[in-house]
Structure 1
Amino acid sequence: MKNKLTLSSNHTRKKVREYLAATQAKNTQLAYQNDIAHFLRSGGEIPATPRCVASYLAVHANTLSLATLNRRVVAINHAHKDKGLKSPTRSALVTDTLRGIRRINGSKQRQVMPLLKSDLMKITRKLTGLIGIRDKALLLIGFAGAFRRSELVALKVEDVRFVTEGVLIHVLRSKTDQNGVGRKVAIPYIKGCHCPVRALKMWLEKSNIKTGALFRRMNRFDQVTDYGLCAASVALIIKQRVAEAGLNPEQYSGHSLRAGLVTSAAQAGVSSWKIRQQTAHKSDVMLQRYIRDGQLFVNNAVSQIW
């Protein structure tokens, strides 16, 4: 007689939980946990009623962005599904409240300043010491590869292969590649002292890193540790370095490197499909905001008639 499959053993239940957890990226799981924690601190509870969720949205409509509110609703929905409970988020009361907030407050999201090539050159020119060598490589590689900050800090030495033309970097997993298919990003040698490939080589040589995390934390004695940078560190490094260059750090974030490559390429007249080859965007839709902003002064109507 064949044995029936059951979830009775601890080992089986553990494996099921592991596979269920793998359906979401770790950053997404953490974001949902933080969202639920905020909901509970604000007086919410699981299970929640539609009126409770709608009240929560109304209370925070003027302090949280629409994107954050939408994510909180998704997190509340997941929290109910995980417990086998009926979700209140699909009720007319909740959806109509969100729709009303969108109409009154608008749906425009904060758009950070792109770190353009010209500013990047100015910033990296002044970096000195071992930590300066690290930051120069981090900024130039992050810009040239159009990497998200999560992709940048996840890179390992084993993901890097130097070739005659430059460097090939294997991105194992990204925000839009949760199944781990991976992709290769090519960064060529560039003439001058701001070459990303040479900057990366210099960092590996001076840091003596042979394996493991590519970009690492430094201790208070400016010594390289065994610990890789976290995603938040990328934003802090960018803010610190742009401030030193006389720019407003409040306008920049970890996304500024990726946005900077797209905008700079658009200004240089690079075709959208070549930009997408570097950024791995699936379509031109997400690129258009940066391309549009980057080309505002290209053949501007005023300059044509003045």
Structure 2
Amino acid sequence: MEIALKQTNAVTMERVEQLIQKANEYTRKSKSDNTIKAYQSDWAHFTAWCEQYGQESLPASPETVMLYITTLADEGYKTSTINRRISSISKAHQSAGYKSPTRNEKVRELWNGIKRTHGTAQQAKKAAVIDDVRRMVDTLGDTTLDIRDRALLLIGFAGALRRSELVTLNVEDIQITDDGLTITIRKSKTDQEGEGRKIGIPYGSCRETCPVRSYMKWVEVSGIKSGAVFRGVTKGGNVKDERLSDKGVARVVKRCAEAAGLDPAQYAGHSLRSGFATTAARAGASDRAIMRQTGHKSRVMVDRYIQEGSLFRDNAAAKIGL
């Protein structure tokens, strides 16, 4: 909720207005842009539903919320989407100074029933493990677009970077050393305060899949001296000034996957990050080393990749004589 201007004398009025404006700006930045957009989209959907069914949206009654989430479940929405909508409704009520109807016991019981009925497992995209990445890179040639895509795939994979981290990289964030690339990630999903962290990407043993050499080649060909590392490329091979979007990263991964004979529907931008963790686990890298590269602060999320990569390492079923 934004700060309201209280009455004060004319001498301090202008300064107070400036402080209020600044405070409201800081408050809005307490959440990432993507989170704010998601809240706005969810709230718009809920208010439109309320208008259609003649219900009050703010404040909404617990019964209204129950009818709404039942509609979503009945229409086949994923439980993860419904959960986010519930959170958005709660945030909107709290921001407006109302008690959240989502905390009502009947709403909670209904939500638990929906989860038990439809399940909560997420349908994650397939991890692009090392063999997949090699196949993708093998499809790329020497055009400006291909050189960019090769650098993007290899740095995204070796750095275990999120799409948002890839597209916000600037030339100033990357140092070329004798050991490889030292990359400073200024801000990420789990670092909204912008404390930053550094990761190292070493030279690859194979020139064709070396992330360091691919980056150097991209910078040389593109002529980029500062600012965004990954940018759009025109059909004529000209490098644009605009930064590549996170959706652009997903399109690159899907396009290269399809060219490599893989199913593009199973791959997305996150496939590079999950593929690194899975590949590293299969290769015997420690949990700590994997987390240092991915930036995970707890093992809850990274455990899924580590466990998947370790399914056939020291597998008991391989020792029973089948």
Which TM-score band (shorter chain)?
A: over 0.9
Q: 1:111-154 CA deviation, whole Å, 9 max, x = no partner?
A: 21100111101110221211111111001000101011111111
- Aligned identity (percent) is 43
Matches within 5 A, 1:161-240: 161-192=175-206, 193-240=208-255
| Count of equivalent residues | 305
User: Which one is further off, 143-152 or 43-52?
Assistant: 43-52
Aligned equivalents of 1:227, 1:110: Cα separation in 2 = 32
Aligned equivalents of 1:38, 1:270: Cα separation in 2 = 44
User: Which one is further off, 91-100 or 185-194?
Assistant: 91-100
Q: Which residue of 2 is the match for residue 71 of structure 1?
A: 84
Matches within 5 A, 1:27-66: 27-43=34-50, 45-62=57-74, 63-66=76-79
- Give the aligned CA root-mean-square deviation in angstroms: 2.0
Q: Is 2:165 aligned against 1:151?
A: yes
Aligned equivalents of 1:251, 1:214: Cα separation in 2 = 27
Q: Which residue of 2 is the match for residue 142 of structure 1?
A: 156
| Secondary structure, aligned partner of 1:185 | strand
For 2:90, give the aligned amino acid.
Answer: N
Q: Tell me: CA distance 1:211–1:299, structure 2 relative to 1, closer, same or farther (3 Å).
A: same
Aligned equivalents of 1:236, 1:5: Cα separation in 2 = 53
Greater share of residues in helix: 2
User: Which one is further off, 121-130 or 44-53?
Assistant: 44-53
User: Which one is further off, 117-126 or 290-299?
Assistant: 290-299
Q: Tell me: CA distance 1:84–1:6, structure 2 relative to 1, closer, same or farther (3 Å).
A: farther
User: Which one is further off, 260-269 or 101-110?
Assistant: 101-110
Q: Which residue of 2 is the match for residue 90 of structure 1?
A: 103
Q: Which residue of 1 is the match for residue 138 of structure 2?
A: 125
For 2:287, give the aligned amino acid.
Answer: S
Contact conserved, 1:137 with 1:199, CA < 8 A, in 2?
Answer: yes
Cα drift, residue 220 of structure 1: 3.2
Normalised to the residue count of structure 1, the TM-score between the two structures is: 0.94
User: Which one is further off, 87-96 or 134-143?
Assistant: 87-96
Q: Which residue of 1 is the match for residue 3 of structure 2?
A: none
| Secondary structure, aligned partner of 2:312 | coil
Contact conserved, 1:7 with 1:13, CA < 8 A, in 2?
Answer: no
Q: 1:64-102 CA deviation, whole Å, 9 max, x = no partner?
A: 222211111111111122222222111122212211111
Contact conserved, 1:42 with 1:56, CA < 8 A, in 2?
Answer: yes
Cα drift, residue 230 of structure 1: 1.1
Aligned equivalents of 1:283, 1:5: Cα separation in 2 = 47
For 2:122, give the aligned amino acid.
Answer: Q
Q: Which consecutive residues of structure 1, in runs of 5 or more, have no partner in the other structure?
A: none
| Secondary structure, aligned partner of 2:102 | coil
Cα drift, residue 191 of structure 1: 1.6
Q: Is 2:310 aligned against 1:303?
A: no
Q: Which residue of 2 is the match for residue 288 of structure 1?
A: 303
Contact conserved, 1:50 with 1:93, CA < 8 A, in 2?
Answer: yes
Aligned equivalents of 1:283, 1:75: Cα separation in 2 = 25
For 2:117, give the aligned amino acid.
Answer: I
Q: Tell me: CA distance 1:125–1:162, structure 2 relative to 1, closer, same or farther (3 Å).
A: same
Cα drift, residue 6 of structure 1: 8.1
Contact conserved, 2:169 with 2:228, CA < 8 A, in 1?
Answer: yes
Matches within 5 A, 1:6-45: 9-43=16-50, 45=57
For 1:102, give the aligned amino acid.
Answer: K
Aligned equivalents of 1:46, 1:252: Cα separation in 2 = 40
Aligned equivalents of 2:95, 2:309: Cα separation in 1 = 44
Cα drift, residue 19 of structure 1: 1.1
Normalised to the residue count of structure 2, the TM-score between the two structures is: 0.90
Cα drift, residue 275 of structure 1: 0.5
| Secondary structure, aligned partner of 2:175 | strand
For 2:282, give the aligned amino acid.
Answer: Q
User: Which one is further off, 37-46 or 273-282?
Assistant: 37-46
Q: Which residue of 2 is the match for residue 110 of structure 1?
A: 123
